[in-house]
Amino acid sequence: MEWDWEFVRQIMPTLIDGLQITILATILGAAVAAVVGLVFAILRMVAPAPVARATGFAVEFIRGTPLLVQLYFIFYVLPDIGIRLPALVAGVIGLGIHYGTYAAEVYRAGIENVPRGQWEAAKATNLTARQTWTHVILPQAIPPMIPALANYLIAMFKETPLLSAITVLELMNQAKSIANSNYRYIEPMTLVGVFFLIMSLISVFFLRWLEERYARVDER
């Protein structure tokens, strides 16, 4: 079977529709992951020991199991206990929780990398807990986290095709339905690959720039 440009032109609008959903899911997923990650990180660092240990186990469990199965779990099991979610919402929650566990590790490493002396100096200068966090710890902890978080954002973007398995009409699902109704797989599947490749090549350059910009706090 030959590559057909006319067919490509014809299916492009549908694929662009799918791409929009893909990007929407990525952005929403990232927002959920940022918040969930913060909750996990705080629970692991400051909660009483049993809670911290339980959170640690939950994080390990989520990281050790496939996102696809977690999506199935959210999409198929939750309706049985009365929580009925639209596919996109279920997908965003799945992405958010899965990548939240990765974000939690980034937050934790970022905060733990602030030298002890900074905490002691804050205490010595009689800063309140709030002042210590907002003026001393976070301004030093956040910049090194940015490249690592961006890295997971790209990883999450590449995982969004999994949402097609729970019927979200994103890029991959649009491509599959085009392929199934026209019996032509070459163009839609290749185009999906090309879309992802272009997006992630762009984001790799963006990531390099972020690393240049933020990763060298200690050298300043």
Which residues here bind other proteins, judged by CB under 8 A? 1, 61, 64-70, 72-73, 76-77, 79-80, 158-162, 165, 172, 176, 179, 185-186, 189-190, 192-193, 196-197, 200-201, 204
Q: Smallest Cα–Cα separation from 110: which of 219, 220, 217, 32?
A: 217
Residue closer to other proteins by CB (options 141, 161) is 161
| Minimum distance of other proteins from residue 140's CB (angstroms) | 27
Residue closer to other proteins by CB (options 106, 172) is 172
Angstrom distances, CA of residue 170 to CA of 98, 114, 137, 157: 19, 40, 40, 12
Q: Is residue 146 a contact partner of residue 210, using CB atoms and an 8 Å limit?
A: yes
Residue closer to other proteins by CB (options 55, 70) is 70
Residue closer to other proteins by CB (options 179, 215) is 179
Residue closer to other proteins by CB (options 122, 147) is 147
SS3 content of the chain, % helix, strand, coil (to 5): 85, 0, 15
Start-end of H helices in 47-86: 49-64, 67-72
Residue whose token pair is 């986290």: 145
Q: Is residue 29 a contact partner of residue 99, using CB atoms and an 8 Å limit?
A: yes
CA 91/CA 75 separation, integer angstroms = 8
| Minimum distance of other proteins from residue 97's CB (angstroms) | 13
